[in-house]
């Protein structure tokens, strides 16, 4: 019993190490985009990724064929979405002027290539809303408003509360 | 390719441009440490819950053996009058 447990633990450690070696760079970049930090100064993104990887490690034996990358990304996104509203936003990153929700949609849809329906399910939003958020995020990345980033650039009134409360 | 798709492709290029971030060297070790702690905590919690369940089962068995609630209690009411 003990021997089998030790063998399982060793296998888990080996598999997890090679997973981290292969996926951490990409996941950290995604996390840095989410938090809106610069890629050379991203303490929040690192903390987020460490927590997500720890959760993946803890459930490694129960993945049953599920892709650990997808699992880690899901944990990352959910943790970010839950905590985003009470954290200060990053200032210097590429997506720093976007709202947390716009960043989530942009990273999932364009950087990670997740389908619209899956993105909507993951964020708990209707598909149309994801489409609108994505279009708005694309527009505001391509045509950044002048001057220091306001709280919510170019947002019609009424959507502001929704975006901030998620 | 529609206008929107072209714009999305441009943004995708911008997102990819920075390349993979440099991973802090102790990321793996820290994740394993925290993951192991989570596993251990889960194991302890499961054990405590099983122990509680066992204690409840034992307590119920003892109580049932003592009071024997399935035995009909002696009637304290006067039987109805039938022949008077």
The tens digit of pLDDT for each residue in A65-92 reads: 889 999 999 999 999 998 866 666 656 7
User: Looking at the predicted structure, is the pLDDT value of residue A159 above 90?
Assistant: no
Cα A58-A61-A62 angle, rounded to 5 deg: 90
The pTM (predicted TM-score) of the whole model is 0.77
At A55 the pLDDT is: 95
Kindly report, residue by residue over A14-65, the tens digit of the pLDDT.
Answer: 999 999 999 999 999 999 999 888 888 888 899 999 999 999 999 998 888 8
Per-residue 3-state assignment (H helix, E strand, C coil) for A7-66:
HHHHHHHHHHHHHHHHHHHHHHHHHHHHHCCECCECHHHHHHHHHHHHHHHHCHHHCCCC
Q: Which has more pLDDT, A9 or B61?
A: B61
Contact B21 A142 (CB under 8 A): no
At A142 the pLDDT is: 86
Contact B24 A46 (CB under 8 A): yes
**For residue B35, what is the nearest residue in chain A, using CA coordinates?**
A54
Rounded Cα distance between A95 and A27, Å, is: 16
Q: What percent of chain B has pLDDT over 90?
A: 48
Asked if this assembly's ipTM is beyond 0.90, the reply is no
Kindly report, residue by residue over A86-141, the tens digit of the pLDDT.
Answer: 666 656 777 777 888 999 999 999 999 999 999 999 999 999 999 999 999 998 88
Quick one: fold of A97-166?
Arc Repressor Mutant, subunit A (1.10.10)
**CATH 1.10.10 spans which residues of chain A?**
97-166
Q: What residue spans of A36-158 are helical by DSSP H?
A: 43-58, 68-83, 100-106, 116-123, 127-142
Which residues of chain B neighbour A42 with C-beta distances below 8 Å?
Answer: 21
Mutation target for A interface from B4, B5, B7, B11: give the one with most A CBs within 10 A: B11
Q: Which has more pLDDT, B45 or B21?
A: B45
From the centroid of its chain, how far is CA A4?
A: 36
At A163 the pLDDT is: 44
């Amino acid at each position: 019993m003990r021997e089998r447990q030790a063998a399982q633990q060793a296998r888990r450690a080996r598999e997890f190490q090679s997973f981290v070696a292969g996926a951490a760079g990409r996941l950290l970049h995604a996390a840095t985009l989410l938090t809106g930090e610069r890629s050379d100064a991203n303490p929040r993104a690192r903390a987020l990724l460490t927590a997500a990887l720890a959760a993946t490690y803890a459930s490694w034996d129960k993945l049953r064929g599920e892709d650990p990358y997808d699992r880690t990304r899901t944990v990352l996104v959910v943790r970010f979405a839950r905590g985003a509203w009470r954290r200060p936003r990053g200032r210097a990153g590429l997506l720093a002027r976007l709202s947390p929700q716009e960043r989530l949609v942009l990273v999932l849809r364009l950087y990670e290539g997740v389908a619209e329906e899956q993105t909507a399910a993951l964020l708990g939003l209707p598909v149309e809303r994801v489409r609108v958020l994505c279009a708005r995020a694309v527009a505001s990345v391509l045509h950044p408003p002048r001057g220091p980033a306001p709280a919510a650039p170019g947002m019609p009134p009424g959507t502001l509360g929704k975006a901030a409360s998620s | 390719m529609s206008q929107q798709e072209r714009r999305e492709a441009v943004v995708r290029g911008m997102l990819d441009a920075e390349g993979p971030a440099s991973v802090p060297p102790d990321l793996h070790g820290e994740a394993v440490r925290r993951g192991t702690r989570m596993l251990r905590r889960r194991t302890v919690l499961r054990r405590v819950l099983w122990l509680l369940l066992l204690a409840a089962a034992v307590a119920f068995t003892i109580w049932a053996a003592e009071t024997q609630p399935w035995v009909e209690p002696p009637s304290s009411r006067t039987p109805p009058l039938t022949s008077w």
